[in-house]
Amino acid sequence: MKEIAEHFINESREFLSAKYLPKIERCLEQLTDEDVWWRPNEESNSIGNLVLNLEGNVREWLVGGVGNLPLSASGSGSSTSGK
């Protein structure tokens, strides 16, 4: 079972860093700061807020879930308010 868990963690790490991150970076590089924080209405999230929430969720999953380590209250980006 330990081998399966290690394989899953290694594959997930590779997938997140080699596949997802470059795509997200490439998309964000094409936007201005104004574009990143723009919201069509008060009920919608901005791209920036979604990225901050994604970062917090991934951190929580990796540190708390996979790493089985405690999260500090200030370390998670999932409760950020954005702009």
Identity (one letter) of the amino acid at 39?
Answer: R
More confident residue, 5 or 52: 52
34-82 pLDDT, tens digit per residue, is 999 999 999 999 999 999 998 888 777 776 666 666 666 544 444 445 5
Neighbour-count burial for 41-73, b at 16+ CB within 10 Å, e otherwise: eeeeebbbbebbbeebebeeeebeeeeeeeeee
**Residue 56 to residue 70: CA distance in whole angstroms:** 14
Which segments of the chain does DSSP mark as H helices, in order? Answer: 2-14, 21-29, 33-37, 47-59
Please state the rounded mean pLDDT for residues 12-33.
91
pLDDT of residue 25: 94
Domain ranges of the chain: 2-79
DSSP 8-state secondary structure symbol assigned to residue 40: S
Please state the rounded mean pLDDT for residues 10-24.
87
**pLDDT over 80 (residue 11):** yes
